[in-house]
Amino acid sequence: MPSFDELRKIAGCLLLVPTLALLSGCTSIGAGSLTRDRLDYGEALASSWKEQMLLNVVKLRYADTPMFLEVSSVIGSYQLQSQLNLIGTFSSGLTPNLPDTWGRGATLGAAALYTDRPTISYTPLQGDKFTRSLLRPIQPAALFQLVQAGYPVDLIFQLTTRAINGIYNRSSRPMSTRRADPEFYPLLDALRRIQLSEAIGLRLERRGPDEVSLITLRGSKLTPEVAEDIRLMRTALGIQPEASELALTFAAVPRNSRELAMLTRSILEVLIELGAGVEVPGKDVEEGRTAATPPPDPEEGARDQPLVRIHSGSKVPTDAFVAARYQNHWFWIENRDFRSKSIFSFLLLLTSLAETGVAPQAPVLTVPAN
């Protein structure tokens, strides 16, 4: 039987072990949560943006009012509390007139509390910000910057322009449906081939208080095919044969033969155009909830087809890139439709380009850890 002093030492060791364990665990939980929070909140923000964008495209198809809520801040607060109690009693039984017996007793208790209180702030898109982001046409120079970055010029112009030097694009909007001018699609094909040959570029110059955007055309070291495409472009747009620089401006028609006038769409117009191609239930058309999709024209080609295919159904899609529910129906983009996915994701970049003036602050993620 151990002595009283030995038992006291054992009890002291038992109390020391959990104490050291708690001290070793007193490290910051904020650093450890950084990777998890950044990825989780980033993925949640991206998914919610896609669903909101798809829902607004569908709502415009039904002549409903779109609503955009921006996430202005994300504040995550963590709190971790722990407590460990160890109580032991020992007696030697050496008290006079009492039996020589040993009494032993021990109580072990532990408690822990973990709290996660995220605070997310939303800002509705309205007023001047709504006008800048959705109603104001995209600047032509911003579109050519995308071209310089390698994005396909034919896709950009088909999605975002109404006219180039008076040559009009197709429109599927219910109130202003029209076919593309005969020269528009061949012009897009020629511009794409010229882009791939690196024969077209953008230069920004400061002329007095204004910054002027110039389109440059390389005239030497061209293959016969690219030279023919440039000639076709000059002829269609009414550009002088010897012009190597074109002033880029926002307008329906150019002022002279050395100007490239682009009548661009706003983000809201782009969304309406995409919404016109949404597949809707036939019952909704019969009941007057939305307009009927125009019947296919035998003369329409591949470029007349919807840029983004949005399907509809009564059940939740099983393999969707993005899905949203509206008026008891599901609308989605197929995960295997790479073209539709790419163009739909491209809308986020276009939304940023449409923003002018002071750039808004990105969502701030603040994670205090207690």
Q: What is the pLDDT of residue 92?
A: 52
pLDDT band at 81 (very low <50, low <70, confident <90, very high): low
Is the pLDDT confidence value at 169 over 90? Answer: yes
pLDDT band at 88 (very low <50, low <70, confident <90, very high): low
Q: Could you report the per-residue pLDDT of 33-74, keeping only the tens digit for each?
A: 677 777 877 788 888 889 999 999 999 999 998 888 777 777
CA atoms within 13 A on the CB side of 258: 7
Lowest mean pLDDT segment, chosen from 40-54, 156-170, 207-221, 248-262: 207-221
pLDDT band at 7 (very low <50, low <70, confident <90, very high): very low
Q: Could you report the per-residue pLDDT of 142-154, keeping only the tens digit for each?
A: 899 899 888 999 9
Q: What residue ranges in the chain does DSSP mark as E strands? A: 69-91, 103-124, 161-164, 167-168, 200-207, 210-217, 245-250, 259-264, 311-313, 320-326, 329-334, 364-366
Q: Which comes out higher in pLDDT, residue 12 or 116?
A: 116
Q: What is the pLDDT of residue 229?
A: 93
For residues 81 and 294, give the distance between their C-alpha atoms in angstroms, rounded to a whole number: 64
**Amino acid residing at 365:** L
Q: What is the pLDDT of residue 300?
A: 79
Q: Could you report the per-residue pLDDT of 105-138, keeping only the tens digit for each?
A: 656 666 777 677 777 777 777 666 666 778 889 9
> Of 70-79, 180-189, 218-227, where does the model show the most confidence?
180-189
Report the pLDDT averaged over residues 68-87: 70
The predicted model scores a pTM of 0.75
Q: Could you report the per-residue pLDDT of 298-308, keeping only the tens digit for each?
A: 777 888 889 99
Is the pLDDT confidence value at 251 over 70? Answer: yes
Q: What is the pLDDT of residue 85?
A: 64
Tokens for 101, please give them.
């017996």
Q: What is the pLDDT of residue 206?
A: 75
- pLDDT above 70 coverage of the chain, percent: 74
Tokens for 141, please give them.
């120079």
Q: Work out whether strand 69-91 and strand 364-366 pair parallel, antiparallel, or are unpaired.
A: parallel
Q: Give the helix, strand, coil percentages of the chain, each rounded to 5.
A: 40, 25, 35
For residues 18 and 24, give the distance between their C-alpha atoms in angstroms, rounded to a whole number: 10
